[in-house]
Chains A and B, each alone.
Chain A
């Protein structure tokens, strides 16, 4: 069974159809990179998968459990209550602009949800927090506040915050787009190390070399559809569609 399955997803904002008809599967341990021009629907796809947006048609399943219920008119609605909570526990999301909680220390950013949404004890949560911050190279910073950190450090805190809840799949929405090249590399390094541990990840990115290097599967999106997908070698080395060719050429 796929960890994540998206079936015939459609999403419009007003008259603008942002996602036309997308189906995809993500297997346990897979790293999927989603690339494509701005406005192609990549981020919207991610926001639908993480249930930050409603969807107009189709379904999203985590481990075979549907995140939506379809009403009589065929319109999907988010599941509610305990079901929604369970679906949400399957995934984490790392935002482009971090969205750390500025009034919480680094440690509290990482552990607060563990304590207050998963009812872990403070000791247990802090243990998890310390391990993750060490892994992110931030053990010195646990008492700092987000404003005292560089962008790269903030993004690593937000990765630790997402990992603390032990999600089965971690989504990244252009995790380095708000960072300068030097800080980008430290964040990409962390994501690569997660890939080595076979963390399942879906990454929307503009970093083509990174996508090529880290992903098992690359999806090229254009105008709300998957224009091409395959292994990095296939998509980058031997693209079939002209649109993909043009896009990839633009990056060299």
Chain B
């Protein structure tokens, strides 16, 4: 098989991988912030609930979590899910998992802020919301970008885990083509794809980091 045919075979898978990546980020970045706020809540019930959630999400394999989200509705609740659920299950599983990781990154950033910033904002009459979004979060984001970059790069590679519930992302396709043709090339192409993807991600994140480095 020539390279062009191989790439066109893989391209559908690539699009799915990119979709999983993008949707996971769009959902888990804001969700992570909400989880972080729950984790820091004054309400002990909410705080401990979120703590347990994060502990499970980080303490069990993502692969297992995907299977629970996909098979759970049927085996636990007896619900038969519609055809397209496979893909949504991947997105739900990824978003819930990454939100837990992002939450801890947000929390680390928020807790690293000095109390003086809050006090100055209070004295100047900012509301709690204004303080959080105008004063605290912009500084937090700048501090946590390197950790976020790490997670985002891991996410690119993790998208391949969708194969466990037979969502045909890039890696699933590569494996199928490779075993059908008894050929290494699809794996090489897959490797190159993930590498280039991550190269782009790292470059973009570096741009963002530089853009936020206008102060110290």
A10 within 8 A of B: no
A92 within 8 A of B: yes
A238 within 8 A of B: no
A103 to B123, CA, bound (A): 18
A8 within 8 A of B: no
Stretch among A14-22, A67-75, A93-101, A197-205 lining the B interface: A93-101
Q: When A103-B139, A147-B216 are in contact, do A116 and B130 touch as well, CB less than 8 Å?
A: yes
A165 to B142, CA, bound (A): 28
A99 touches B119 (CB 8 A): yes
Q: How large is the interface on A (under 10, 10 to 19, 20 to 34, 35 or more residues)?
A: 20 to 34
Nearest B residue to A101 by beta-carbon distance? B135
B134 touches A99 (CB 8 A): no
Specify which of A101, A116, A165 is in contact with B120 (CB 8 Å cutoff).
Answer: A101
* Size of the chain B interface, CB-CB below 8 angstroms: 20
Q: When A101-B135, A102-B139 are in contact, do A113 and B119 touch as well, CB less than 8 Å?
A: no
Q: Which residues of B contact A100 (CB under 8 A)?
A: 120
A244 within 8 A of B: no
Q: Which residues of B contact A95 (CB under 8 A)?
A: 116, 119-120
B77 within 8 A of A: no
A145 to B138, CA, bound (A): 15
A117 touches B130 (CB 8 A): yes
Distance of B152 from chain A, by nearest CB (Å): 23
A132 to B214, CA, bound (A): 25
Q: Which residues of A contact B139 (CB under 8 A)?
A: 102-103
A118 touches B125 (CB 8 A): yes
Q: Which residues of B contact A52 (CB under 8 A)?
A: 119, 122-123
A174 within 8 A of B: no
Q: Which residues of B contact A89 (CB under 8 A)?
A: 125
Query: Interface centre among B124, B139, B142, B215, by most A CB within 10 Å?
Result: B124
Specify which of B116, B122, B134, B215 is in contact with A97 (CB 8 Å cutoff).
Answer: B116
A147 to B126, CA, bound (A): 23
